[in-house]
Structure 1
Amino acid sequence: MTTTKQALLDRAHSLYEEKYPEGRLWRGGVGESLTGEQVAVHADAAAEYIAEVDWKVPDPFRRGTPGAAADEQTHTESTRYVVGAIIELLLRAEAGAPYADAWAWYLQPGLTADEAREMYHDVAAFARRYGPEAA
């Protein structure tokens, strides 16, 4: 991982600590406790999916949510929620913005497959680095 990528993850982690001081991000949208690895597997699957299809805008799979680019085998409603929340943290960290919207990023007409894959790889790296381990 490059120093620049590490710095981005560190800035996103600082934002995470401000927004989720009690770590509730890792409980997903329905309260299911998640590990960093579960979220990372979902994000990696999304990146792989994008690499395997002729991904471009608009693409039918984008009818889902920013975190839903993986198949049903690798994601749940909770991992999808956490992936979207981490995307927003990474966008804020990159732009220095007080707010970011994963939907707006996900639906932007100019989003390339390479940019989307990179984002999902960054989500996986963040989840592995900062997410909770299995009990």
Structure 2
Amino acid sequence: MFELNRGINRNQDLEATGAEFVRDIETFVAGTIAASTPSSTPASLIERAWNLADGYTEWLRWGDSGMPLTGEQIAAHAETAITILRTVGWNPGYAAGRGIGHALTHAMNTDPDHRFSSDTRAALRSVFELLIRALTGAPYADYTAWDEHPARTVEEVFGLLAAAAAFARTYGEPTAAAPAVA
């Protein structure tokens, strides 16, 4: 968030710093007052995104490390990112570093159960691309560029993360059943 200890030497610096401070406050407030539970994602969006995968979906079941993935792991990683952004405030600018990518990395670094990894993050990258393409009709989409676009809103960001969680739960591998205890 905004840093008060910056070296402000000119009125221009003061105006720029003040504008950044106002943006930080607005995005933080928007993130904290946004609905605690994002509205349900239309099933048609999830289905359109799935159809864009063109049948290749191994990335949803296996990570680059060779480890298996479950839909629940991927969904939990997206939902943890929502919680992080709701806490620190969404501001994807390079200096602020509080966008989707940062939240996914922070989730990996703070997950005590080791459910999240570069594997779940890579799966989410693919899910985000499919969802953005389904929303926009674009032939390709990069979630980082989408997140950093000046017209983006915090509600759209939370919506994408919630849709990614719904997608992962719908099409990801089910969590393996616990073995029966004899």
State the partner residue of 1:29: 64
Identity rate, percent: 36
Aligned to 2:83: 48
SS of aligned partner of 2:59: helix
Partner of 1:84: 125
Q: What one-letter code is carried by the residue in structure 2 that aligns with 1:77? A: S
Q: Which amino acid aligns with 2:68?
A: S
Structure 2 matches for 1:89-108, cutoff 5 A?
89-108=130-149
Separation of aligned partners in 2, 1:102 and 1:29: 19
Structure-2 residue corresponding to 1:116: 157
Q: 1:97 to 1:128 in 2, by over 3 A?
A: same
The Cα RMSD (Å) is: 2.4
Q: TM-score, normalised by structure 2?
A: 0.63
Structure whose alpha-carbon radius of gyration is higher = 2
* Structure 1: unaligned runs, 5 residues or longer: none
Question: Unaligned stretches of 5+ in structure 2?
Answer: 1-38, 177-182
Are the equivalent residues in 2 in contact too, given 1:36–1:127 (CA < 8 A)? yes
Q: Which runs of 4+ in 1 moved over 6 A?
A: none
Deviates more, 1:70-79 or 1:60-69: 60-69
Tell me the TM-score normalised to structure 1 length.
0.83
What amino acid is aligned across from residue 123 of structure 2 in structure 1? V
Whole-Å Cα distance in 2 between the matches of residues 25 and 96 of structure 1?
22
